[in-house]
Structure 1
Amino acid sequence: MDEKDWVILQTIFQERNISKAAEKLYISQPALTYRLQQLEREFGTMIVARGKRGVEFTAQGEYIAQYARNMILQLRNTKEFVQNMDKEIRGVLRIGVSGIFARYELPAILKEFINHYPNVEVNVKTGWSAEINHLLHKEEVHVGIVRGNYIWQEEKYLFREEPMLIVSQKQIKNIKELPNLPRVNYETDQTQKTLIDNWWQETFDQPPTVTMEVDRIDTCKEMVLMGLGYAILPSICLKKEDDVHKIILTKKNREPLKRNTWLLYRERSLSLSAVQAFVDFLKEYDNIKIDDKDLIPQKFE
């Protein structure tokens, strides 16, 4: 059993389907089936049970698949450590990034980082912040950039604080009007949804008038730009040229309601020069801040 076999087992374990695993591995299904049978002969046990909906791992198969995952991780860590034994900043940097941060901030950051460190190979995975947090716990990424507050016992750095805004094409003169105005909602992670919902419940005694539900924050913003309703958005998704009115949300104590972006990592990962360089780079990065001259504080008249 070698590295190729570890990858085969992990891919089948993730996909739970021989055809999909073969497609992902760029090998034929018969070749994959044959190698799986060879592994079963080698271990003297059935690794998977085949059914109409795919495959299920036996108890022995689960154990072997976990062994394969550990060996892949150990080999990867060894390669990364060896690559970092010299003084040159090089190697592989694996980062997991919140989808919205990846959309609006990451490209510019990575472009500048790679300009500084051309010998670093950057691998990126994006998703909901909860998914990125999960990848960190599984050690599938070196660094995570998440939005919202998550339990993380190791190193963390508050990279960005940004206001939450009421955004509309026409000016909203009195915030008391909101419950009766058409609102555009969008899919977001649970931490931001909770943040917005808690503010609404503290501010109003009736639900919002949601007239549109969309799956992307970009779509929501376009609806607002067309004057089809207002939305509650984090300032990260707004550009200076967006012709909209913005009101900062505030808590009962009049503090701005903010959305936090965190940099999460393990201290031991800093032994890798690429990780150390990226963490230092982000901490020194010249954050582009929202021009607050056109932001109106929330107030009731």
Structure 2
Amino acid sequence: MDIRQLKYFMAIVEEGQISRAARRLHMAQPPLSLQLKMLEDELGARLIERNTKSLRLTEAGHALYQRAEQIVGLVDTTAREIREFDQGLRGTLAIGSPPGIGHLYIPPRIAEFHVAYPEVNFQWREGNTYRILELLDKRVIEVGIVRLPIDDNSYEQIPLLTEPWVAVTRRIKGKRQPKAIALPDLARQPLLLMQRQQGIFCHDMVWDELRAADVEPTVFCESDNVMALLNLVELGLGAAIIPRSAALLKPSDDLHIMDIAGCRLESAVAITWLRGQRLSAAARQFLEMF
């Protein structure tokens, strides 16, 4: 098993079909299928079920994919660091962020960074805080924007801002709607909430405020996908409680954003990286912009 085989396997998983993976890798399908079979034979385990139109990972395949992400990311980072000794600031900087707050902070800094260092390219991955920390731990990305708190023993951080959480409801046409709403009034309709992720406090923060307001809401849906919640609001299926930056992701005449009165629903945001990790020169310079 070598790095090349792991990259082939990752492409197959990410594309969902061997034919699409072959096109992505600029190679014919039969040699790629052979590489997958050789990898399975070497490991003595079936990695992918092939009896459906779209491939399905086995339990062993899931385990290998997670390891492959970490191994390939580490090899790519090592190769880049070695090249930097001779070539200066160039290569690819991998970063990550949640959708809403990332769109606020990252694009202008990428534009400014590109002017100063035109030889540096970017890989920008999105996900919730739990996913961003997971990518940092696997060294798939070097720096990421997250919602606090996180483990200070594992990560360095630069605080960016504290933003409020807001209510998003379906706009009632022809009716004037308030700029703010209290939790008891909001909870008269089904709520759409962010899903709880391991080690993340935002879900608990919302529930603490609901309990403090003596509210027992009906929760129609929880999701780690903000756009999914906003789509449900747009269909009139409930009211979402989400960060303000996330609420602005979907400009729509059918959505109404309100402050939540009488409580302190807010979360701090920081840019973070692994404590003790030697960052690439590009990552170090990028952090100087925050």
What TM-score results when the alignment is normalised by the length of structure 2?
0.69
Q: Is 1:171–2:182 an aligned residue pair?
A: no
Find the aligned partners of 1:182 and 1:58 in 2 and give their Cα distance. 44
Contact 1:178 1:208 in 2 (8 A): no
Distance 1:268 1:116, change over 3 A: farther
1:121 deviates by 1.2
RMSD, aligned α-carbons? 4.4
Q: Is 1:232–2:241 an aligned residue pair?
A: yes
Partner of 2:95: 95
Contact 1:16 1:56 in 2 (8 A): no
Find the aligned partners of 1:90 and 1:257 in 2 and give their Cα distance. 41
Where do residues 73-112 of structure 1 align in structure 2 (5 Å cutoff)? Answer: 73-85=73-85, 88-112=88-112
Partner of 2:273: 265
Stretches of structure 2 that go unaligned for 5 or more consecutive residues are 170-175
Farther off after superposition, 3-12 or 142-151: 3-12
Q: Is 1:205–2:215 an aligned residue pair?
A: yes
Partner of 1:154: 155
1:125 deviates by 0.8
Partner of 2:172: none
1:271 deviates by 4.2
Find the aligned partners of 1:102 and 1:275 in 2 and give their Cα distance. 16
1:119 deviates by 2.3
Distance 1:22 1:89, change over 3 A: closer
1:36 deviates by 3.8
Contact 2:191 2:217 in 1 (8 A): no
Question: What is the identity, as a one-letter code, of the residue corresponding to 2:228?
Answer: R
Distance 1:250 1:234, change over 3 A: farther
Distance 1:167 1:63, change over 3 A: closer
SS of residue in 2 equivalent to 1:48 = coil
Where do residues 276-295 of structure 1 align in structure 2 (5 Å cutoff)? Answer: 276-282=284-290
Say which one has the larger Rg: 1
Distance 1:74 1:220, change over 3 A: closer
Contact 2:97 2:144 in 1 (8 A): yes
1:130 deviates by 1.3
Find the aligned partners of 1:55 and 1:144 in 2 and give their Cα distance. 28
Find the aligned partners of 1:155 and 1:6 in 2 and give their Cα distance. 30
SS of residue in 2 equivalent to 1:95 = strand
Distance 1:177 1:70, change over 3 A: closer
SS of residue in 1 equivalent to 2:118 = coil
Partner of 2:173: none
Find the aligned partners of 1:102 and 1:32 in 2 and give their Cα distance. 36
Contact 2:182 2:261 in 1 (8 A): no
1:265 deviates by 0.5
1:173 deviates by 7.6
Where do residues 1-301 of structure 1 align in structure 2 (5 Å cutoff)? Answer: 3-11=3-11, 18=18, 21-22=21-22, 25-37=25-37, 46=44, 48=46, 51=49, 52=51, 54=56, 56=58, 72-85=72-85, 88-151=88-151, 153-166=154-167, 170-171=177-178, 175=182, 178-179=185-186, 181-182=188-189, 185=192, 190=197, 191-207=201-217, 215-216=227-228, 218-219=230-231, 231-237=240-246, 246-247=258-259, 249=261, 251=263, 256-282=264-290
Stretches of structure 1 that go unaligned for 5 or more consecutive residues are 283-301
SS of residue in 2 equivalent to 1:140 = coil
1:112 deviates by 2.6
Identical amino acids, percent of aligned pairs: 21
Contact 1:16 1:55 in 2 (8 A): no
Contact 1:89 1:277 in 2 (8 A): no
Q: Encode CA deviations 1:258-278: one digit per residue, 9 max, x unaligned.
A: 212122212554541101011
Farther off after superposition, 70-79 or 7-16: 7-16
Contact 2:188 2:217 in 1 (8 A): no
Question: What is the identity, as a one-letter code, of the residue corresponding to 1:170?
Answer: Q
Contact 2:109 2:289 in 1 (8 A): no
Find the aligned partners of 1:174 and 1:78 in 2 and give their Cα distance. 52
Q: Encode CA deviations 1:244-301: one digit per residue, 9 max, x unaligned.
A: 67435555xxxx332121222125545411010111212xxxxxxxxxxxxxxxxxxx
Q: State the number of aligned residues.
A: 268
SS of residue in 2 equivalent to 1:205 = coil
Question: What is the identity, as a one-letter code, of the residue corresponding to 1:235?
Answer: R
SS of residue in 1 equivalent to 2:288 = helix
Partner of 1:293: none
Contact 2:247 2:257 in 1 (8 A): no
